[in-house]
Amino acid sequence: MARITLPDGSTLEAADGTTAGQLAEQIGPGLAKAAVAAKVNGKLVDLSTPLDGEVAVQIITTRDDEGLEVMRHSCAHIMAEAICSIWPETKLVYGPTVEDGFYYDVDLDESVRPSDFERIEEKMSEIIDADTPFVRKEMNRADALEKLAGDKYKTDNITHADGDIISFYSHGDGFEDLCRGPHVPSTGKVGSPRVMSVAGAYWHGDPTQKMLQRIYGTAWPTKRDLDDYLQRLDEAKKRDHRVLGKQLDLFSFNEAGPGFAFVHHKGMIIWNAIVDFWRGVHDRYGYEEIRTPIILNEELWHRSGHWDNYKENMYFTNFDDTDFAIKPMNCPGGCLVYKTRQHSYREFPMRVAELGLVHRHEASGVMHGLFRVRQFTQDDAHIFCTPDQIEAEIIGVIELTFEIYQAFGFEDFHIELSTKPEKHIGSDEIWETATNALEDALKQKEIEYKINEGDGAFYGPKIDFHIRDCLKRSWQLGTIQLDFSMPERFGLEYTDKDNIEKTPVMIHRAVLGSFERFIGILIEHYGANFPLWLSPEQVRILPISEKSNDYAGQVERRLKDSHLRCSIDSSGEKIGAKIAKAHAEKLPYMLVVGPREAQAGTVNVRIHGIKENKTIKIDEFLTIAKCIIAEKKIDLAL
């Protein structure tokens, strides 16, 4: 007899060898129908798994994330069979699930094209309609290796597998694949799939290895879920900062400078609003601000260690028979400023900010709108301090960072700690001290963090800040990097209490990371419906007809006197057309004015996205708008 405990705590008895699937049937036909796998004593298994003894069992359906993953993984097998049936010479490599779907890497000389997707999907439908069972077969490692002799990919997969028991899954007409499982009971249980895209991917992610073809797919429990997903993708596409940036005249790119953004007037208004805010906060946190040159002698970059560790990403130039480098980072320039005079411990901590324009030669295939460019402005700062000030300084930076993120409505963020990379300067001892200092600060603030081994900057370990936007996508923004090496290399000094010259500690940090990238993130986060304080044009005045243009002019003057960014739509269009146009341009406020308003000294306010409108005095509107700007409110309601 198997004694089974269910998730609700109830217990059941069943004959030994009863399968998890049969148990589901015993509980209810609805559950049995929805079941795709089971969890036995916390381990995810097939429904065909027999139950013995005292076990805790949970039936997994596609309502569970794990069930959805099982379903998608099974779907990957089905897609693999479809691909193999179309291209029999296909060698299968690896087919895991990813967020919202799955992929399968294949080694196939002929290119799979988007035009082939329909064919693949048709074949998948046949396999799904046939509803044949997934069958698990186990053998020991040696037998499995023998069975797969000559298949370098699957043999390699076995060497990465744990345990001595290797499993294979088959379905349909003899399609079989090495796989840990579990899988749905039969091919009819994989819901609504779709082949999404194809791309190249290196075997093991290693550029020296063969480029495989990675075919991406997705699968959802029902057709409706699939449609919702496709709709969601469509929504995300509408928020694409590259599309909105062009549409709203914020920035552009040109073939003349791939990866170099042209920021337009409206983009600069957003940029400058962020800079103003940023300066205010930094001033309050005790920062000074400097600006260092973009082009500096190449020798400087030998000394800093960039030549040995960062040369591949740097631009160089030569004039007057001298070699120069275009700065990829601001720190060496900051060190030169530090060295222009002597320093005392009494000045510390010295927080020196710089909105530094840096150039990094990124590989041609990685550029992506404003998110990945070759020239960008870092909101950088270097803090010079004594070793015993490190922890307090790190904590101060964390507090400042959180304050800035919250102003933009980012509430969901997490932190990662990156440790010593292969390419680095400085001794292991220094690295350990620095890494411990960062960890201590995080522990002190009781902040949870994830560790990324070997992901630090070449001169020191770092803390990275990641935020999630409104579509739950994660972005890296800020970073704090602790550096004991560069001050040493540049011979930085300060006179300590005991009258001895010592080397200061340097903390590199950025909060927004890059202005370009941050503005790109903001565009997608807000869907270009910016809060009033960031909106390039805050108010548009819409006269009913040309007869009201004079009054519109008076209103405009009042708004401009209050430093509101506004314009008048004096085109010959009808009011409906003016509203539609302002709406398309994502204007926060539209002020409709006609003879009635002119008579009463009022404006009729219409808020972006809201059909209702409200007539109020100009003064009242000004007071409210100024308050919404000052408080950086996201809600535009009057």
Partner RNA sequence: GCCGAUGUAGCUCAAUGGUAGAGCACAGCUUUCGUAAAGCUGAGGUUGUGGGUUCGACUCCCACCAUCGGCUCCA
- Quote the tokens at residue 628: 């919404």
Out of 140, 197, 222, 342, the residue judged to bind RNA by CB under 7 A: 197
Stretch that binds RNA, among 117-125, 205-213, 300-308, 531-539 (CB under 7 A): 205-213
Do residues 80 and 105 make contact, with C-beta atoms less than 8 angstroms apart? no
Q: Which is nearer to RNA, 80 or 127 (CB)?
A: 80
Query: Is residue 579 a contact residue for RNA (CB under 7 A)?
Result: yes
- Quote the tokens at residue 155: 């043999």
Ranges within 586-605 binding RNA (CB under 7 A): 590, 592-597, 604
Q: Which is nearer to RNA, 24 or 486 (CB)?
A: 486
Active site (annotated) includes residue 204:
no
Catalytic entry in 239, 360, 424, 489: 360
Query: Is residue 297 a contact residue for RNA (CB under 7 A)?
Result: no
Stretch that binds RNA, among 218-226, 298-306, 494-502, 570-578 (CB under 7 A): 570-578
Active site (annotated) includes residue 77:
no
Query: Is residue 575 a contact residue for RNA (CB under 7 A)?
Result: yes
Query: Is residue 160 a contact residue for RNA (CB under 7 A)?
Result: no
Q: Which is nearer to RNA, 387 or 609 (CB)?
A: 609
Size of residue set near RNA by CB under 7 A: 75
Do residues 480 and 462 make contact, with C-beta atoms less than 8 angstroms apart? yes
Ranges within 114-143 binding RNA (CB under 7 A): 114
Active site (annotated) includes residue 382:
yes
Query: Is residue 97 a contact residue for RNA (CB under 7 A)?
Result: no
Q: Which is nearer to RNA, 201 or 268 (CB)?
A: 201
Let me know the angle formed at the C-alpha of 92 by 91 and 97, rounded to the nearest 5 degrees: 160
Query: Is residue 279 a contact residue for RNA (CB under 7 A)?
Result: no
Alpha-carbon distance of 605 to 444, in angstroms, equals 49
Q: Residue holding tokens 């904590």?
A: 395
3-state secondary structure of 460: strand
Query: Is residue 374 a contact residue for RNA (CB under 7 A)?
Result: yes
Ranges within 242-261 binding RNA (CB under 7 A): 242, 246, 253, 255, 258-259
Out of 33, 547, 557, 560, the residue judged to bind RNA by CB under 7 A: 547
Active site (annotated) includes residue 508:
yes
Catalytic entry in 39, 171, 374, 462: 462
Out of 43, 113, 265, 563, the residue judged to bind RNA by CB under 7 A: 113
Out of 306, 517, 525, 540, the residue judged to bind RNA by CB under 7 A: 517
Going from the C-alpha of 413 to that of each of 109, 406, 435, 465, the distances in angstroms are 43, 10, 21, 7
Among residues 430, 425, 436, the alpha carbon closest in space to that of 463 is found at: 436
Site string for RNA, 466-485 (x = CB under 7 A): ----------xx-x------
Out of 362, 416, 488, 620, the residue judged to bind RNA by CB under 7 A: 362
Active site (annotated) includes residue 282:
no
Phi-psi region of 632 (alpha: psi -120 to 50; beta: other; left: phi over 0): left
CA 505 to chain centroid, in Å, comes to 31
Out of 217, 332, 369, 460, the residue judged to bind RNA by CB under 7 A: 369
Dihedral of alpha carbons 512, 515, 518, 519, sign: positive
Alpha-carbon distance of 542 to 560, in angstroms, equals 16
Q: Which long-range contacts (CB under 8 A, 24 or more apart) does 271-278 make?
A: 271/515, 271/519, 273/533, 273/534, 274/512, 274/515, 274/518, 274/519, 274/534, 275/355, 275/515, 277/404, 277/407, 277/533, 277/632, 278/379, 278/404, 278/511, 278/512
Query: Is residue 330 a contact residue for RNA (CB under 7 A)?
Result: no
DSSP letter for each residue of 509-574: EEEEEEHHHHHHHHHHHHTT---TTT-SS-EEEEESSGGGHHHHHHHHHHHHHTT--EEE--SS--
Q: Which is nearer to RNA, 126 or 455 (CB)?
A: 455
- Looking only at the bridges linking them, the beta strands covering 589-593 and 602-607 are antiparallel
Query: Is residue 233 a contact residue for RNA (CB under 7 A)?
Result: no
Query: Is residue 81 a contact residue for RNA (CB under 7 A)?
Result: no
- Quote the tokens at residue 601: 């000294």
Catalytic entry in 239, 382, 509, 517: 382
Q: How far is the CB of 79 from RNA (least distance, A)?
A: 16
Query: Is residue 364 a contact residue for RNA (CB under 7 A)?
Result: yes
Active site (annotated) includes residue 75:
no
Q: How far is the CB of 580 from RNA (least distance, A)?
A: 4
CA 23 to chain centroid, in Å, comes to 42
Ranges within 434-463 binding RNA (CB under 7 A): 455, 457
Catalytic entry in 58, 213, 375, 378: 378
CA 328 to chain centroid, in Å, comes to 23
Alpha-carbon distance of 228 to 233, in angstroms, equals 9
Among all residues, which ones are annotated catalytic? 331, 360, 378, 380, 382, 462, 508
